[in-house]
Amino acid sequence: MIAVNQTRVTKQIHLGNVPIGGGAPVVVQSMTNTDTRDWQATVAQIIRLQEVGCEMVRVAVLDQQAVQQLSRIKQAIDIPLIADIHFDHRLALGALAAGVDGLRLNPGNIGGGQSVAKVVKSALERQVPIRIGVNSGSVEKELLSRYGRPSPEAMVESALRHIRMLEDEGFDLIKVSLKSSDVLDTIRAYQLLADRVDYPLHLGVTEAGTLVDGAIKSSLGIGVLLYQGIGDTIRVSLTRPPEDEIPVAYSILRALKLRRRGVELISCPTCGRTELDLIPLVEKAERLLRKVRSPLKVAIMGCVVNGPGEAREADVGIAGGRGKGILFKKGVRTQTVAEEELLQRLLMEVQEITGEVIID
Ligand code: SF4
């Protein structure tokens, strides 16, 4: 079997109780799009994210009112909470005091010397890591004029500057991201940085776009890097509710055999042989199976030509016939079910195998 290249060896850091880098599994992360000052809406969204497998979450902290809500949010959720801070180091100090598990800030843009020293001191006392996040849109003017554009080299130089600012204060609980909306620039930037530092890397293609475009760009950018053994946490960015990012992230990780969480859904593209109304069936099954945590392979196929083969290989499979489907379980044909009962039967089988309750 072809496998992902040897994972790059990095320092290990911890966000809350989640290990990152140093051989730990790749972690799936997202960011809320609620107003953090509205703690109830933010918590509700984080819980929805948790339910589909998000393992760390970032919230934007724009002002002191948002800082005030962080401990409340932290207490109501089960996954590590990261505060995203720009410009004002007092927000970072407040977030640390509120008990966040991680900060995302660039030391170069929170006011320089003394401000950085204060934040680092507080983060070190609490052993809270900081992610430096360089975006192609945030590269310093001087680097832009030197490199002509936010090239991978310019992004890496920018990241190294921020890293040095933290290291100069004796801080090494660092994670770094280098996101560009250009897939090839993103890949190149991470490759260059991976040769220069041994900090864990957070992967993402920024402003990736809508569901189809964003999923493709993210899969390519993140996928190529993970395949090369680079990357310790990932975020798929979509112009969608963040809950929709998580299944894409797991799909990438499953395809590379890096994580096995959740249902791998195999379904055929349909053709002139399809004998039942397959597309709505598959779409509904996908939606309902999203919350399943156990690793499972489910196949839904449209006919008896190629269907039984795939269905037999899955943990639960359907091979469609005219107005009905043949059900397979763990490679064994179990029964023929009427089309209108297929989904229900499929869900029952999944529940039986996983022991997880599926709620519509
Ligand atoms: S499984 Fe059958 S229905 Fe589906 S695409 Fe293949 S031949 Fe067509």
Residues 33 and 173 in one domain: yes
Host domain of residue 326? 263-354
Residue 1 maps to a domain: no
pLDDT at site 197? 96
* Secondary structure (DSSP) of 327-360: EEETTEEEEEEEGGGHHHHHHHHHHHHH------
Residues 245 and 268 in one domain: no
pLDDT at site 1? 52
Tokens of 245: 């990012």
- How many folded domains does the chain comprise? 2
Residues 80 and 177 in one domain: yes
pLDDT at site 206? 86
- Of 255, 272, 287, the one marking the end of a domain is 255
Residues 221 and 77 in one domain: yes
pLDDT at site 125? 97
Residues 296 and 229 in one domain: no
Tell me the pLDDT tens digit for each residue of 68-82: 999 999 999 999 999
- Of 215, 230, 255, the one marking the end of a domain is 255
Residues 349 and 269 in one domain: yes
Walk along the chain (360 residues) in steps of 10 and give the mean pLDDT of each run: 69 96 96 98 98 97 97 98 95 98 91 88 97 91 93 96 94 95 94 96 89 93 96 95 95 95 94 92 94 94 88 93 92 93 95 89
Residues 293 and 234 in one domain: no
CATH number of the domain enclosing 196: 3.20.20.20
Mutation test residue for ligand 1: of 277, 304, 305, the one with most atoms within 8 Å of CB: 305
Q: Please state the atom number of ligand 1 nearest to the C-alpha of residue 306.
A: 1
Determine if ligand 1 sits within 6 Å of the CB of residue 102: no
- List of residues 6+ apart from 174 with CB closer than 8 A: 13, 129, 130, 131, 132, 163, 166, 167, 199
CATH number of the domain enclosing 343: 3.30.413.10
Residues 103 and 227 in one domain: yes
Distance 319 CA to ligand 1 centre (A): 9
Residues 71 and 185 in one domain: yes
Q: Please state the atom number of ligand 1 nearest to the C-alpha of residue 302.
A: 3
Residues 110 and 183 in one domain: yes
pLDDT at site 181? 86
pLDDT at site 9? 83
Residues 250 and 183 in one domain: yes
Q: Please state the atom number of ligand 1 nearest to the C-alpha of residue 272.
A: 8
pLDDT at site 108? 82
Mutation test residue for ligand 1: of 275, 276, 303, the one with most atoms within 8 Å of CB: 303
